[in-house]
Amino acid sequence: MPRVVLVGPPGSGKSTTGATVAELLGVGFHDTDAAVEAAAGRSIADIFVEDGEPAFRDLERAEVSRALAAEDGVVALGGGAPVDPTTEAALAGHTVVFLDVGIADAAKRVGFAASRPLLAVNPRASWVRLMEARRPVYERVATHTVDTAGRGVDEVAGEVARLVGTDP
Ligand SMILES: Nc1ncnc2c1ncn2[C@@H]1O[C@H](COP(=O)(O)OP(=O)(O)OP(=O)(O)O)[C@@H](O)[C@H]1O
Ligand SMILES: O=C(O)C1=C[C@@H](O)[C@@H](O)[C@H](O)C1
Ligand SMILES: [Mg+2]
């Protein structure tokens, strides 16, 4: 079972902070977005364009299920992964940290590049809509919440490592 699973919206820092948390804890780091891309041999943006979002969600659900069973370090999920009901149910019993962030910090961090297909059109409004719909899900699955607003990667990673460092 992973030591900790990171959830949160695009720009919350799951991938970047997760790698630092893994270093601090001396464990491996696994990013489900990267794993889906490696398995498919294509970028997520290409999977969205060529096969559509439902096809990506199927690949993501399978990869998250595999990672929750097989990985034992830090696991970063894609931003939309916990919205899937099967994935939400599978997260029960795991140590899950919700990296919270507001639109101001997310916009600064992400720059809303085309690599995030759900934010390709009207990125700020799309991010706000996504976050409104997803906040209840992130809050339901989280065992801990860490506010990342105005805080750097090292500070956030230090707090996450302290929170989960004593968990079995
Ligand atoms: N706490 C932070 N302070 C400043 N910049 C940050 C912070 N966390 C992440 N970043 C920067 O924000 C950008 C996006 O971070 P990252 O890719 O880790 O987000 P993510 O949550 O994994 O997003 P996605 O859901 O799209 O995978 C990166 O350039 C990263 O360096
Ligand atoms: O917020 C989302 O739905 C997404 C976030 C990214 O991590 C990727 O999983 C993909 O771009 C979809
Ligand atoms: Mg990421």
Q: Is 7 helix (H, G, I), strand (E, B) or coil?
A: strand
Domain-embedded: residue 102? yes
Whether 146 maps to a domain, the answer reads: yes
Q: What is the ipTM score, two decimals? A: 0.96
Beta strand 74-76 pairing with 96-100: unpaired
When the pLDDT of each residue in the chain is averaged and rounded to a whole number, the result is 93
> Residue 3 annotated as binding?
no
Question: 167: CA distance to ligand 3 center in Å?
Answer: 24
102: CA distance to ligand 2 center in Å?
17
Q: So what's the pLDDT on residue 141?
A: 98
Instruction: Work out the widest C-alpha separation in the chain, in whole angstroms.
Output: 44
Tell which atom from ligand 2 comes closest to the C-alpha of 60.
9
Residue 168 in any domain: the answer is no
Name the closest ligand to CA 8: 1
Which ligand 2 atom is the nearest neighbour of the CA of 77? 7
For residue range 9-45, list pLDDT tens digits in order. Answer: 999 999 999 999 999 999 999 999 999 999 999 999 9
60 found inside a domain? yes
Domain membership of residue 91 (yes or no) is yes
Residue 152 placed within a domain: yes
pTM for the predicted model, two decimal places: 0.95
Q: Look-up: residue for tokens 């994935």? A: 87
- Residue with the smallest CA separation from ligand 1 atom 16 is 13
Kindly tell me the number of DSSP H helices and DSSP E strands found in the chain: 8, 5
Q: Is residue 68 part of a domain?
A: yes
Taking a C-beta distance cutoff of 8 angstroms, is the pair 131, 10 a contact?
no
What residues does 100 pair with on adjacent strands? 147
CATH for 138:
3.40.50.300
Nearest residue to 95 (alpha-carbon basis) of 16, 38, 11, 27: 27
Specify whether the CB–CB gap between 68 and 5 falls below 8 A. yes
Q: How far is the CA of 9 from the centre of ligand 3 (A)?
A: 9
pLDDT in tens, 122-167: 788 888 999 999 999 999 999 999 999 999 999 999 999 999 986 4
3-state class of 76 per DSSP?
strand
Residue nearest to atom 4 of ligand 1 (CA): 152
How many distinct structural domains can be found in the chain?
1
Q: Which atom of ligand 1 is nearest to the CA of 109?
A: 12
First to last CA, the chain: 10
